[in-house]
Structure 1
């Protein structure tokens, strides 16, 4: 029998909070509902519902316990399951009621929530319906062995169903509204393809009912396919070849790409007929000209392989009369077993020379043609440390009259950041922001995260007006990290707390710096959080937690001109905090009453109270005055150097109490939300490249491991994604696609959803361009097919922390709830980039 009920939104509900009151449970035949062990319910809500949000009030008192589970379906819709257990049998009466507190807006379309309840006594409620999916016969014999797959999508819930040709597949789904997606059916080499035609779509599944879905196929498409296999071409082991494939009949470009030796590039969706020309650009290296002759290919509806080997190459020696021997002077911080490839790139000749990592004087192995060359040599890893190779940007050989001797090319190899930061793994790791709701643990496990971060205290900003007696945020974040560890079979997961002792994020820097009472409270609250971390030290967790201290402090002081000697109270509030927690320690005389002394005080306090934690300060793009430089033709390294100079001026990483890393903020917002683009933050590939160049510049200047922090992990919607006219709540963005790689966007901005491309930017930030389309055009050429993180360790980046309080990261309860980023990171963890001496993967 069906259980009926009455439900209303209690008076006083508003935009941010409201109560649902449910009462008068009874069967549809009027008989009372008998609960012997538990009553279960399922309903929709605009926000997650915790067990503490449900209050049970029976007319006759009964002891009850409540369990809940919330699954986010979209930005403002959650599916909630609740179980109310009783210690003794209970017969429901009309006056029995449940009050459900909801941290969301119940005033908009309240019936969507009030009419969604389904109840059951002593069993799970029947909230499921059935989709009967009838699949047509295979569209082509070449596709007969390729099973079609459709996905029923309800918010973040995705149910994939494999179909059988000519048969009906019944799918059990929770009641609700669904869209259905299905990729084209294609054979393994992509030469035969048929699109799915799905009807109806979207559709509604009702509980205890069946709806029919028909899947047929559009017109079969036939293509050609080529695998361009570049073999071990001798002499070009360190070179990149430029290859194009042309339609011989009209000379149009079918594909253009670069390739290293021993690499195969797969080209798909080519014409199924005609003739293709494969052209490899000539290249000149070390006084040898290499030209290529690759036979034409007759395209067909099949996969063909084109081999480019030594037999495809003609080599011709260059006359080196008048060429010059170029000496190289190498200075190295250490003698290491690695070799570095030194490269000169000229207008018509390139030179490479392997250089042993040691102090030495050597020469290029061949004489060098007169001219001006761009000089490069890559950084490398050894023993977990980055070694930066410094060479001049340009080098001129034989300037002026012909000379038989060359100036010496100076090359220095310097040890830079040590990427092995205590508490973090010895590979490039990813973590995310937590909101401490029930689904966090499952989400972080799904992403195979290595860290979780959360703001300490009650208000997340230092609680400057009170001395806290407890810090559940710190305790719960550590608990969450330990729970994720257990779910990942012991993979270490570090909790990272964000702690303010002087909150300059809201402006009014002079007033905030001068407030000794607030400093005392916040110093004390940092001690509390550090003590909570100390309590969790054990043999498995010698580093109990990480801390990022005082976001925006260094940036605000740098931007506002509050230098190291700017006066502020330091010693008295610090002593008050020590006394509050009975910490017996003498404040060093080197801690002075100014900004530099304040920075020293924070560093000393962390080492004094919790010497086992790992911590770092945070900086911003806008510390140099504004962040819009990222859109301009400004050298990010020069911006980084200005920031590094300020950090050094306040001695943030000097002395015996040095922090372990530096966190670098972009701006905590998904790029295609108003919080971001209205405030001047919407990055295309060009701007993200500038941001990570800034990170590298800081790491090099300070020789510190750096952590991009609060980075939006939202992806860019492609032409197949459903983008609302008002898409703000969908939390689309660019950071996830850039960092994780997004083949659906690839190298063509026309793959971006047209609704996004049409987004208008504010005229207040003219450097952004007029539209999102302008942003991508400005970035050309770009290619986001592969991840940008491949060279992060060489940039000095040891970890990336994603998301924020209102920004897409790794949890489904904030921002875009879909599993895209979690799935990307889970796949990455199959083979993470380790900080060892092995060759680094090539950046895209």
Structure 2
């Protein structure tokens, strides 16, 4: 039964409300709802169950369920279903009151969507219009293929498969973009473009809309399916092989393929001859040659499979040749093995691949002798039982000049343990929360493993007073994480970002020297820690995490503060502890110095909340600036932790990571400290558990990013994560990239309006992959490419993003997170207070895209190898 009703809107800039009442049957029947009432409508923001109040007479207990999807920037289609907790509803619903969390200050007023409202009893709402698709006859050779029309309305998409003639579909009211993939046979040998009479459709409830489908002439081509099929014990099974595709003996394409991989080449000519050839390989003194695969280009599918039968091998032992001894120096003997590869610098290089070398101190003389030549030594990183190990060689080049034995020294260095308490045993992602009611549904949809929120009332340490417990959000954020868990049934770690000293404000030397500020911030930190520890239970042995003091280490390093730099610590810490009844003696090692302060923060966490996980934060710009992300950059006064002197240095990602790590270690971020418990027993307080690394949280194509020198192409993101890898390497600790912008690029087919309202960027496209953009500058929306950078930044960024993206080769086709664990990265947190993450309340444009990407990722996460 479809219902009539009355709408009464009350306008408010950020939280308009609506009352729906006077429900009547459109046919005059009495209303007697047995199962459900359904409402469908659009709104300029999200609505949660907490935003809805249903008044009944007589009273009955009701349940509400909400489905929502974003149909354009900040506009949502919403379906509300109301059911009785038991029995029937009858005609008891008198009024439905609801409010909407408006997505932005520029969003349309809610009453402009009044014509979208439809209400029904015991059936679905009738919101559809009729789409009549007139489809031409399919081209010859494509009669058995399916036409696929894709209608997209925001997050909603619908696929239609019309056949030749007239087709009728019922489509929900609204505006849609419509597209059609080309027709093609499964083997790709025949294809034809699809011509639509319109690329947008507006469907109106109860009305008819027409669309015509025609076809371009069919094109015919040849297809090759190429694969390499070798047994796992074959010497070439793990080798990358260079293949060439030729037409009439002229090379047209070159690519790399390994055993077990497949490659399809389509749209090849329909006349002439093809051949596929694999380049010779000289491996471990065996010369492998491959028979070419040949055939006719004839509008057919050809399966080209290389097996051992197409491989000829001959002894390639050389004279003179040398015996190689690999000397392994392992910091710790590990029950695992590693590989080494030597590649000659030559046109057809000799290669040597030594496998199953033990990660234990000792020497291994190889049975295969080395031919004379100069070799590049390829070493790498491996993960065993969740711990990163670096395989370092004493020289990147090995020269073999005759029969004299040669040695290669390999050092196995233990790095970060990626298995950080409270986090999963695979590379995971988290998102920023702003405590809007819609956060829970959004975070659950993205299947995040953590969520983070700034601690305190002002988010900056609350350094002027003891904070009212009601204003500390820690307990609420922990509960939010558990609400997300209740939906996903996955563990979600709440992480508080806490300032015990806020150097983000500037005025560094005065703030860091202010004991009153320290006292209040220490006290408010203790309060948050106590709240977190109190919420430990059997299912949550790690109740929360804390990331402390953004910008603190960065400012101290930039200023060149040494570990003994004077800071008031003991008295303000003691007063803060007394305020909250923490009765334990402050260890003597916590001194009134910079190192004493950092040690004091760590110790405080371990004695007040021993079960939380703790990380400190540092910045890309800790070395004096972040210009080096764009190109190696020379600074005049970089602090060198090795000798405590500022000096002129040219910074690249590896050096930036090394210097930042050395500084963090110098000032004691990861130092353990001995102390005495309140009961008199001795104990050790552990240093930090991880390091958070911060780029800068603004979305690239907003003014607050690019006008501050932060607009990245994939090249700059590569260097950012190279920094993280170096940071982890030199810390030997796990790294958590924090507050990473998750915004994506806009393609040429998307509408780009106000940049500062839509929050476009590159972080999400880089992390998760963006196949629609691929490796083409031309695929990026011109409104993004043509932003004018400030003159002060052109030397490092170029004049506009088009220049920035044109300086290096790049490709968004695949996600970039695959090697993060080998870089010491165990978790990534995306988003910020005004930066795209996964919650729609912070940003409307890309958050749904990122949610979908993260949800898909959880089906196949990158695990920490054993």
The C-alpha deviation readout for 1:498-547, integer Å capped at 9, x for no partner, is 22222222322223213333333322222222222223222221111222
The structure-2 alpha-carbon separation of the partners of 1:246 and 1:665, relative to structure 1 and needing over 3 Å to count, comes to farther
Between the aligned partners of 1:281 and 1:676, the Cα distance in structure 2 is 47
Match of 1:245 in 2: 245
Between the aligned partners of 1:162 and 1:425, the Cα distance in structure 2 is 42
1:787 aligns with 2:815: yes
Alpha-carbon deviation of 1:803? Answer: 2.2
Match of 2:694 in 1: 665
Match of 1:328 in 2: 326
Could you list the runs of 5+ residues in structure 2 that have no partner in the other structure?
633-650, 673-684
Match of 2:477 in 1: 477
**Structure 2 residue corresponding to 1:380, chosen from 376, 379, 382:** 382
Equivalent residue runs for 1:808-819 within 5 Å: 808-813=836-841, 814-817=843-846, 819=848
Match of 2:423 in 1: 424
Whether contact under 8 Å (1:456, 1:474) holds in the other structure is yes
Bigger drift between 644-653 and 461-470 goes to: 461-470
SS of the residue 1:139 aligns to: coil
Could you list the runs of 5+ residues in structure 1 that have no partner in the other structure?
838-844
The C-alpha deviation readout for 1:730-773, integer Å capped at 9, x for no partner, is 43332233322333344444444455444444432222233434
The C-alpha deviation readout for 1:427-467, integer Å capped at 9, x for no partner, is 22222222333443333333332222222233333333341
SS of the residue 1:764 aligns to: helix
Match of 2:280 in 1: 282
Bigger drift between 579-588 and 83-92 goes to: 83-92
The structure-2 alpha-carbon separation of the partners of 1:360 and 1:763, relative to structure 1 and needing over 3 Å to count, comes to same
Between the aligned partners of 1:820 and 1:99, the Cα distance in structure 2 is 27
The C-alpha deviation readout for 1:553-582, integer Å capped at 9, x for no partner, is 212221232332222222232223222222
Match of 1:841 in 2: none
Match of 1:739 in 2: 767
Q: TM-score, normalised by structure 2?
A: 0.84
Whether contact under 8 Å (2:140, 2:218) holds in the other structure is no
1:637 aligns with 2:654: yes
Match of 1:840 in 2: none
Match of 2:337 in 1: 339
Alpha-carbon deviation of 1:682? Answer: 2.5
Between the aligned partners of 1:83 and 1:352, the Cα distance in structure 2 is 63
Bigger drift between 302-311 and 385-394 goes to: 302-311
The structure-2 alpha-carbon separation of the partners of 1:818 and 1:455, relative to structure 1 and needing over 3 Å to count, comes to closer
The structure-2 alpha-carbon separation of the partners of 1:610 and 1:18, relative to structure 1 and needing over 3 Å to count, comes to closer
Between the aligned partners of 1:273 and 1:440, the Cα distance in structure 2 is 59
Match of 2:798 in 1: 769
Whether contact under 8 Å (1:760, 1:770) holds in the other structure is yes
**Structure 1 residue corresponding to 2:228, chosen from 227, 230, 246:** 230
Bigger drift between 644-653 and 431-440 goes to: 431-440
Equivalent residue runs for 1:671-690 within 5 Å: 671-690=700-719
Match of 1:264 in 2: 262
SS of the residue 1:585 aligns to: coil
Whether contact under 8 Å (2:243, 2:276) holds in the other structure is yes
Between the aligned partners of 1:807 and 1:337, the Cα distance in structure 2 is 44
Alpha-carbon deviation of 1:704? Answer: 0.9
Alpha-carbon deviation of 1:272? Answer: 4.2
The C-alpha deviation readout for 1:366-389, integer Å capped at 9, x for no partner, is 332444332222222222211111
Between the aligned partners of 1:586 and 1:35, the Cα distance in structure 2 is 70
Between the aligned partners of 2:180 and 2:530, the Cα distance in structure 1 is 52
Equivalent residue runs for 1:535-546 within 5 Å: 535-546=534-545
Match of 1:694 in 2: 723
The structure-2 alpha-carbon separation of the partners of 1:105 and 1:796, relative to structure 1 and needing over 3 Å to count, comes to closer
Match of 1:353 in 2: 354
The C-alpha deviation readout for 1:325-357, integer Å capped at 9, x for no partner, is 233211123444432111222212322222222
Match of 1:395 in 2: 397
Between the aligned partners of 2:109 and 2:483, the Cα distance in structure 1 is 36
Q: TM-score, normalised by structure 1?
A: 0.86
SS of the residue 1:779 aligns to: coil
Match of 1:494 in 2: 493
**Structure 2 residue corresponding to 1:827, chosen from 832, 842, 856:** 856
Alpha-carbon deviation of 1:723? Answer: 3.8
Alpha-carbon deviation of 1:53? Answer: 6.7
SS of the residue 1:307 aligns to: strand
The structure-2 alpha-carbon separation of the partners of 1:404 and 1:63, relative to structure 1 and needing over 3 Å to count, comes to closer
Alpha-carbon deviation of 1:800? Answer: 1.7
Match of 1:436 in 2: 435
The structure-2 alpha-carbon separation of the partners of 1:709 and 1:223, relative to structure 1 and needing over 3 Å to count, comes to farther
Between the aligned partners of 2:331 and 2:380, the Cα distance in structure 1 is 16
Whether contact under 8 Å (1:340, 1:377) holds in the other structure is no
Whether contact under 8 Å (1:154, 1:176) holds in the other structure is yes
Match of 1:206 in 2: 204
Bigger drift between 784-793 and 194-203 goes to: 194-203
The structure-2 alpha-carbon separation of the partners of 1:318 and 1:485, relative to structure 1 and needing over 3 Å to count, comes to same
Match of 1:73 in 2: 71
SS of the residue 1:606 aligns to: helix
The C-alpha deviation readout for 1:118-152, integer Å capped at 9, x for no partner, is 37597899572324252625624655554444343
Between the aligned partners of 1:143 and 1:732, the Cα distance in structure 2 is 40
1:562 aligns with 2:579: no
Whether contact under 8 Å (1:147, 1:165) holds in the other structure is no
Bigger drift between 546-555 and 48-57 goes to: 48-57
Between the aligned partners of 2:531 and 2:521, the Cα distance in structure 1 is 15
Whether contact under 8 Å (2:41, 2:116) holds in the other structure is yes
SS of the residue 1:262 aligns to: coil
Between the aligned partners of 2:624 and 2:377, the Cα distance in structure 1 is 32
1:652 aligns with 2:669: yes
Equivalent residue runs for 1:567-578 within 5 Å: 567-578=566-577
Between the aligned partners of 1:695 and 1:237, the Cα distance in structure 2 is 33
Between the aligned partners of 1:799 and 1:314, the Cα distance in structure 2 is 47
Match of 2:367 in 1: 365
Alpha-carbon deviation of 1:728? Answer: 5.0
